[in-house]
Structure 1
Amino acid sequence: MSVFQRVFQSVNKGQAGMVGMVCWNLWNRRNCWVWDHVNISIVGLKSRIHHMLDEWNKAQEEKQKAAALLQNRDRTWRKPPAGWIKINTDAACVPGTDQFGIGCVARDEHGCFLRARCTLIHRSVQSREAEAIGLREALSWIKHWRNTKCIFECDAKLVVDAVNGDRGYSNFDMLIEDCVDIIKHFDEVLVTFVHRSANNVADLLAKAAYSMAGLQEWIHTAPDFITCNLDFEKA
């Protein structure tokens, strides 16, 4: 053990991998002789060591690439499962004002636009309360149209965790309780967290509310200012 400790303390990661492969192949060579009476030559042993180390390094590279790809997928919008629709919600607050915009957009399993909505609400609230109001309005809006197999995505993790967990008695918790009560009207529904980079369309709608007069709603045909984002995320 003292030899191994000195070796691993004095070599780099690549050399440590080589030491491990040498030890494993020496152990395997001994087993081949003890159990099968097969004697692997030193030349063959060296070849196997280098080959296995090369394969192991390639496997680690592929693992890192797969992990990076998975991370990128988590940060981009993804289509819902077959038969489901996905509704993204967001709120846009301007510090120092007593108003905030909320927006939501619904898409089907193919990423096709179904409907969208945005409005400006005149009320002084914290950002988490604005997000909760945005989710509540989206739930209420969608339930009159469809009440099954709906996924609501929100980039406010605090709101999502509260909907799916315990609640207290603050104004924020009362808004969450409203959301939970509306959810009871759905047969199959999920409320999930999504990174902000995967919530771009809802964010655009929430910000657009500041430049529009009153409640705006689009059905079947998306407004021009979100079509590029819809097409990009649909691909």
Structure 2
Amino acid sequence: MVGLFVWRLWHRRNKWVWYTVNMFVFGLKMIVFNMLADWRRAREVNVVKQSHSQAHRSWLKPPAGWIKVNVDVACSFQPKEAETLRLKEALSWTKEWRTTKCVFESEAKLLADAVQGTRGASFFDSIVEDCNKLIKYFDEVLLVFIHRSMNQVAYLLARAACSMSGLLEWNTRAPYFITCTLAFEEI
């Protein structure tokens, strides 16, 4: 912190020497604190991004203070729209928890790219726009493309849901058909 303060003083001095711009010293402390907070946030997001690099091929636990939501869908009709609707539903559901830092993982690369890029006017793009509106409720959200091997539990749950009727929740025990995968991934 002392180094940051000295650097800002040096920066202030250079503005005066080179551009004859006088900066008030009173706000210097607040500028330093804001820069430090921004640096910490950026560093935390960088750690999360690095932990989700494609070098890993199995599910990874989220960093402390973050929650992770794996999104997958089981259908053969318009899969990109279905995956996007599942993301929208997951964002809406997670928003109610009042959590601020979330990682959403999907094996739909097109979806991950669309949320972070420009959009058109298709049905898919309108759902992506809805997702982006929901993302604004969070302090930090990462939507990460992952390989199916990293999303195996979500994949198995999505496939099993096709043969189940009604809504099901597992609050205390995992369903039997994913226990081996959970044990293998040491969750």
Q: TM-score range by the shorter chain?
A: 0.5 to 0.7
After superposition, the C-alpha distances for 1:17-66 in whole angstroms (9 at most, x for unaligned) are: xxxxxxxxxxxxxxxxxxxxxxxxxxxxxxxxxxxxxxxxxxxxxxxxxx
Matching residue within 132, 137, 142 for 2:89:
137
- Whether 1:198 aligns to 2:150 is yes
3-state DSSP of counterpart to 2:144 = strand
- Whether 1:88 aligns to 2:88 is no
Aligned mates of 2:98, 2:174 — CA distance in 1: 19
Which residue in the other structure is 1:108 paired with? none
Which residue in the other structure is 1:184 paired with? 136
Matching residue within 161, 170, 187 for 1:209:
161
Letter in 1 for 2:88: R
Q: Hey, which of these two has a bigger chunk of strand by percent?
A: 1
Distance 1:182-1:86 versus aligned 2 partners, 3 A rule: same
Aligned mates of 1:137, 1:206 — CA distance in 2: 14
Matching residue within 174, 178, 182 for 1:226:
178
3-state DSSP of counterpart to 1:211 = coil
Matching residue within 45, 51, 61 for 1:79:
61
Aligned mates of 2:64, 2:99 — CA distance in 1: 16
Which structure 2 residues correspond to residues 115-130 of structure 1 after superposition, within 5 A?
A: 125-130=77-82
Q: Is the 8 A contact 2:74 2:162 kept in 1?
A: no
Q: Is the 8 A contact 1:88 1:152 kept in 2?
A: yes
Q: 1:172: Cα distance to partner?
A: 0.3
After superposition, the C-alpha distances for 1:80-110 in whole angstroms (9 at most, x for unaligned) are: 112212111101113xxxxxxxxxxxxxxxx
Aligned mates of 2:94, 2:170 — CA distance in 1: 13
TM-score of the superposed pair, with normalisation by structure 2: 0.66
Distance 1:232-1:92 versus aligned 2 partners, 3 A rule: same
Aligned mates of 1:219, 1:189 — CA distance in 2: 25
Aligned mates of 2:98, 2:144 — CA distance in 1: 18
Q: 1:79: Cα distance to partner?
A: 1.5
3-state DSSP of counterpart to 2:139 = coil
CA RMSD of aligned residues (A): 1.9
Q: 1:180: Cα distance to partner?
A: 0.8
Which residue in the other structure is 1:151 paired with? 103
Q: Which structure has the greater CA radius of gyration? A: 1
- Whether 1:160 aligns to 2:142 is no
Letter in 2 for 1:91: V
3-state DSSP of counterpart to 2:84 = helix
Aligned mates of 2:171, 2:98 — CA distance in 1: 14
Aligned mates of 2:144, 2:54 — CA distance in 1: 17
TM-score of the superposed pair, with normalisation by structure 1: 0.53
Q: 1:155: Cα distance to partner?
A: 0.4
Q: Is the 8 A contact 1:147 1:188 kept in 2?
A: no
Moved over 6 A (4+): none
Which residue in the other structure is 1:18 paired with? none
What are structure 1's unaligned runs of at least 5 residues?
Answer: 1-70, 95-124
